[in-house]
Amino acid sequence: MSARTFGLRLISGDRPGHPVASALVIILVVVLAFAPFLFPGTRSMAAASRIAIFIVLAGSYDILLGYTGIASFAHTMFFAIGAYAVAIPLARGWVGWDAILFGTIAGIVLAALIAAGIALLSLRVRRIFFSMITLAVASFAQILATQMRGLTGGEDGLTFSLPEMLGPSFRLFATPVLGVRFDGRLITYYLVFFVSLILFLLMLRTVNSPFGRVLQAIRENEFRAEALGYRTIVYRTLASVLSAAMAAIAGALMALLLRYNGPDATLSFAIMVDILLMVVIGGMGTLYGTALGAAVIVLAQYYLQPALQALSDALAAVPFAAALFHPDRWLLWLGVLFVLIVYFFPAGIVGSLRRRRR
């Protein structure tokens, strides 16, 4: 079996669908794979790590919204469950790989059970009412996280230690390799990267399987799918469970990356908005698009403000222009960027490119 054939089987033959989209996806994967060597520095490593995590988080949400047509506002709750499930045992002194594994599995199980319960109780109602139910559940989860100080640390959150191999003082090699130290932070980055890559490929296989085709049929016409003999409530529940499990693993990775977890880190509504933006910018129903959308949003959050600062300094002699590009207005320019992307790519980056190819 050739490498090309193996690669196509690995992703079920699904491709980005346009040469430009394919090039962007390949560049993204290569950059993330070699980010510590291409862009050494704490800020760039943090940005690359968050891109990898949000690719999984946004992709798991796209399974709900883009492939199944379920609009949920409780996705960050599952993200937080995975993070807290890892943070709680580590914060209580159970430091070790077994604690991380136990917390991750516990987070997956708990998130899956809650997702199944919400789906079975709420998916029979109309879409807008289901969205309101999930919003209420997410708000309730945020209240619990801030009030249960003995378990979650309240608004202050939980800070914890990691196994020695993931610590900044650990050295895998005595001397740097290609100018990069193989320390605990680098190992943490590649742990995040490879787990995210495996999860993304797993989601890609899932949406291109017969199960994924049924989800897309439900999205297009739920009544017709029901008439063909598919129990739509069962499939939508399974989609919710799969999406929640993936989000929980992403939360566990975020906790390991930050060595901290709190309501603002994984449970805030701002994160939910970011996820929605990633899915819309990349293209709903295109996992490749959510990967590109995650890269756009995270890079904007990390580098748009410094870029505006440099531009404002360069235009210091022009008062109006300097004020317009002041770094404090980075959210305004992020909004302008979003409007431009939606205008020129109404179906998202990958979705619009696929339509033009057809």
The domain segmentation of the chain, as residue ranges, is 35-286
pLDDT value for 320? 82
Report residues of the chain scoring pLDDT below 70.
1-13, 123-124, 126-127, 358
pLDDT value for 223? 86
pLDDT value for 330? 85
- CA torsion sign, 264 to 101 to 53 to 90? positive
pLDDT value for 275? 95
Reported in sequence order, the residue ranges of the chain that DSSP labels E, i.e. its strands, are: 158-159, 260-261
- Rounded Cα distance between 77 and 81, Å, is 6
pLDDT value for 114? 95
Give the global pTM.
0.93
Give me the residue label for tokens 């998130």: 111
- Rounded Cα distance between 73 and 132, Å, is 8
- Rounded Cα distance between 225 and 222, Å, is 5
Tokens representing residue 217 in the block: 């049929």
Q: How far is CA 257 from CA 48, 166, 221, 225, 324, in A?
A: 11, 9, 41, 42, 35
pLDDT value for 302? 92
- Rounded Cα distance between 313 and 293, Å, is 29
Tell which CATH architecture fits domain 35-286: Orthogonal Bundle (1.10)
In our burial notation (b when 16+ CB lie closer than 10 A, e otherwise), range 91-120 reads beeebeeebbeebbebbbebbbebbeebbe
